[in-house]
Amino acid sequence: KCLRVRQCDDTSRPPATISQYWLTNVEEGQYVAPAQATNATICYTSEGLTIHEYATDNNAFTPFTTCNSYVWQDGSALEMMIFPVKTPFDVPEFYYEIDMAPSGATFGSMIFNNKGNVTNCNTCVAKQLDCTGACTFPSIPQLQLSADYDLSNNGTRVGWHTSRHLPFSMFYELKDTTKLFKFNLYRYDYPWGRDQGYELSGYSPTWNPSFHIPSRFA
**In 3-state terms, what secondary structure has residue 216?**
helix
Tell me, rounded to whole angstroms, the distance of Cα 179 from its chain centroid: 19
| Of 70, 124, 68, 117, the residue nearest 95 (C-alpha) | 124
pLDDT, tens only, 185-218: 999 999 998 888 899 999 999 999 999 999 999 9
Whole-number average pLDDT of the chain: 94
Q: Label residues 147-170 b or e (16+ Cβ within 10 Å = b).
A: bebbeeeeeeeebbbbebbbbbeb
Q: For position 207, what pLDDT does the model report?
A: 96
Query: CA–CA separation, 83 vs 110, rounded Å?
Result: 10
Q: For position 175, what pLDDT does the model report?
A: 72
On the 0-12 / 13-18 / 19+ scale of CB atoms within 10 A, 123 is exposed
Q: For position 15, what pLDDT does the model report?
A: 86
Q: For position 124, what pLDDT does the model report?
A: 92
**In 3-state terms, what secondary structure has residue 201?**
strand
Q: For position 12, what pLDDT does the model report?
A: 86
Q: Specify the amino acid at residue 157.
A: R
- In tens digits, the chain (218 residues) has pLDDT values of 688 899 998 888 888 999 999 999 999 999 999 999 999 999 999 999 999 999 999 999 999 999 999 999 999 999 999 999 999 999 999 999 999 999 999 999 999 999 999 888 889 999 999 999 999 999 999 999 999 999 999 988 999 999 999 999 999 877 777 889 999 999 999 999 888 889 999 999 999 999 999 999 99
Q: Do the Cβ atoms of 203 and 105 come closer than 8 Å?
A: no
CA distances from 132 to 27, 68, 173, 179 (A): 40, 9, 26, 31
On the 0-12 / 13-18 / 19+ scale of CB atoms within 10 A, 55 is buried
Q: Do the Cβ atoms of 92 and 114 come closer than 8 Å?
A: no
Q: For position 2, what pLDDT does the model report?
A: 81
